[in-house]
C-alpha cells in the first residue's frame, strides 16, 4: 500500500497533495488528490469523498472546486479520485461519455472492460484502505458527494454503504441511469443487457429495492443543458418521497452544469457534511 507523491502545496494552512499508486482493482496506476487541513498532531479528521463527472480527473475539482477554505474552516479532509483507469493498454472509446474518463463507478463484467474498469471496488474498498493507511482520517466519520456521473456514484455508493457514510450529497447527479441515455449506454456496455444487473448502480432503483438513508442534499442548476434528458432529479424526488427519505433538492436559478455552478455551492455542501460528521 505504497503511494508516490506527485505534488504538495500549502493552502489555507493545510496541504493539498496529489498522489499516485499501483491499483490492484484496476491493474493500472491511479492518481488521486487529498487536501488535509491544519490539525493537531495525532488528530483523526472526518473525510469528505468527492467523485467527479464525465471526462474529468482528480484535477477538475482540485483546481476549480473551491473547497479548501471550507474544509480548512471545518477541519475536513477532502479526497478526489480519478473517474476511470487510464493508459495505452486500457480499453477506450472515441465518445466522451464512455471508456476512459467515464467509468461510472461500476465493476464492469463485459469484455473488454471487465479487466480494468472496476471503479466500484476501487472507490469503495481499495482507495479507502489506502487513504486510511497514509492520511490522518477517522474512518468512522465519512461523507460522500460528487458531480454528474460522480453524483450518480456518490448517491449509489452512499446508498449501498449507509453504515459507512454519515451523509450524502450531490451536484447535478444522474439519479436514474437506467432511464437516461448516458446511463443506458454505459451500463449496457459495462454490465450487459440484463437490466437487473444495473439496479445496484441506479440510485432510484436502489431506493425502490429498499436502500435507506436518513437524508440527502442535491443541488441542481435550472439552466443545466442536461437537466431534462440526462439528470431528471424529479425521479429522485419521487423515490425519496415514497421511501420516506428526507431529500433537500435545491433548484438553483440560472446555474448550468459547470464548475462555476459547483464552486458556488461547494462551501454549503462542506458545511452540511461537517455538521453531520461532528466536525
CB 191, CB 223: distance < 8 Å: no
80 and 61 Cβ atoms separated by less than 8 Å: yes
Collapse the DSSP code of 139 into the 3-class scheme (helix H, G, I; strand E, B; otherwise coil) and give the result.
strand
If you ran DSSP here, which 8-state letter would residue 102 be given? B
**How would you classify the pairing of strands 165-171 and 215-221?**
parallel
Strands 77-80 and 29-36: antiparallel
Active-site residue identified among 74, 147, 152, 257: 257
Residues 6+ apart with CB under 8 A from 258: none
Instruction: For residue 148, indicate whether it is catalytic.
Output: yes
Query: What region, left, alpha or beta, does residue 140 occupy, with left being phi > 0 and alpha being psi -120 to 50 degrees?
Result: alpha
Contact 156, 105 (CB under 8 A): yes
Using an 8 Å Cβ cutoff, are 106 and 117 in contact? Answer: yes
Q: Exactly one of 23, 84, 148, 167 is catalytic; which is it? A: 148
Residues in the chain, total:
279
Let me know if 257 is a catalytic residue. Answer: yes
Distance in angstroms (rounded) separating the CA atoms of residues 188 and 227: 22
Catalytic residue among 58, 224, 269, 273: 224
Is the separation of the CB atoms in 266 and 65 below 8 Å? yes
Backbone angles phi, psi at 259, to 5 degrees: -75, -10
Annotation marks residue 224 as catalytic = yes
Residues annotated as catalytic are 148, 224, 257
Amino acid at each position: 500500500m505504497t503511494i508516490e507523491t506527485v505534488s504538495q502545496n500549502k493552502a489555507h494552512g493545510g496541504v493539498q497533495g496529489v498522489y499516485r499508486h499501483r491499483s490492484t482493482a484496476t491493474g493500472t496506476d491511479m492518481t488521486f488528490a487529498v487536501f488535509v487541513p491544519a490539525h493537531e498532531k495525532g488528530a483523526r479528521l472526518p473525510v469528505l469523498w468527492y467523485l467527479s463527472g464525465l471526462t474529468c480527473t482528480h484535477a477538475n475539482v482540485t483546481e476549480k472546486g473551491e473547497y479548501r477554505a471550507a474544509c480548512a474552516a471545518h477541519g475536513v479532509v477532502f479526497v478526489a479520485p480519478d473517474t476511470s483507469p487510464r493508459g495505452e493498454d486500457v480499453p477506450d472509446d472515441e465518445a466522451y461519455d464512455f471508456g476512459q474518463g467515464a467509468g461510472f463507478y461500476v465493476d464492469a463484467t463485459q469484455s473488454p472492460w471487465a479487466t480494468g474498469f472496476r471503479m466500484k471496488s476501487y472507490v469503495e474498498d481499495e482507495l479507502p484502505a489506502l487513504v486510511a493507511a497514509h492520511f490522518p482520517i477517522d474512518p468512522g466519520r465519512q461523507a460522500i458527494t460528487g458531480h454528474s456521473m460522480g453524483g450518480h456514484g456518490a448517491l449509489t455508493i452512499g446508498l449501498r454503504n449507509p453504515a459507512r457514510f454519515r451523509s450524502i450529497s450531490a451536484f447535478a447527479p444522474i439519479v436514474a441511469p437506467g432511464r437516461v441515455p448516458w446511463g443506458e449506454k454505459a451500463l449496457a456496455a459495462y454490465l450487459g443487457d440484463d437490466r437487473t444487473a444495473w439496479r445496484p448502480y441506479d440510485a432510484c432503483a436502489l431506493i425502490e429495492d429498499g436502500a435507506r438513508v436518513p437524508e440527502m442534499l442535491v443541488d441542481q442548476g435550472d439552466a443545466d443543458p442536461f437537466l431534462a434528458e440526462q439528470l431528471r432529479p424529479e425521479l429522485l424526488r419521487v423515490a425519496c418521497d415514497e421511501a420516506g427519505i428526507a431529500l433537500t433538492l435545491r433548484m438553483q436559478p440560472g446555474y448550468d452544469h459547470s464548475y462555476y455552478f459547483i464552486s458556488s455551492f461547494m462551501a454549503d455542501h462542506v458545511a452540511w457534511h461537517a455538521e453531520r460528521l461532528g466536525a
